[in-house]
Amino acid sequence: MTYVMFSLLVMLILGLIAVASNPTPYFAALGLVVAAGVGCGILVGSGGSFLSLVLFLIYLGGMLVVFAYSAALAAEPFPEAWGTRSVLGYVMIYLVGVGLAAGLFWMGWHEGSWVVVDVLKEHSMLRGDVSGVAMMYSLGGSMLVICAWVLLLTLLVVLELTRGLSRGTLRAV
């Protein structure tokens, strides 16, 4: 299980580097989908299978909407791929930064630290993610409204950032 979690964490870091290094929304959205899928895999490995499923469905639905809007407004005839020099330069810089940060914190990780939360409780009747879902529905109404507002604000910010100087589809002909 340790090797699976380690490889999922490495894939998460590579997906986040793919998001951060690419200026084109097409390839950055692909890296974001990979990072979201791998993050849900990490949640499954930690014992949150229901939370992982809900997060994956909601997040990918939101990403589909944001990707459709940003792709429609930022249509580039020749998008920069991961193989271009500028993007590869950013990838190398981020990989060196992650390597330096991993070198600083490498001795603090131990193999026994990746234990499913439900294993730690001896007489547990419920799984940890099921009680979290009950808490989300009982006390999470205001947080749901706040999260919806933040997603709307994020959508407007993404649309404003990808608009550029040409005004996208709203430009005068």
Which residue did the predictor score with more confidence, 51 or 117? Answer: 51
State the CB neighbour count (10 A cutoff) for residue 86.
11
Distance of CA 86 to the CA centre of its chain: 23
CB 10 within 8 A of CB 38: no
pLDDT of 116: 59
Mean pLDDT of the chain: 75
Q: Which of 72-81, 99-108, 139-148 has the lowest mean pLDDT?
A: 72-81
How do residues 108-128 score in pLDDT, each as one tens digit?
A: 665 555 655 555 555 555 566
pLDDT interval class at 173 (50, 70, 90):
very low
Please report the domains of the chain, with CATH numbers, ordered by start residue: 2-170 (1.20.120)
Alpha helices in 46-140 (DSSP H): 49-73, 85-105, 117-120, 128-139
Which residue did the predictor score with more confidence, 57 or 162? Answer: 57
Highest averaged pLDDT of the listed ranges 24-28, 95-99, 125-129, 164-168: 95-99
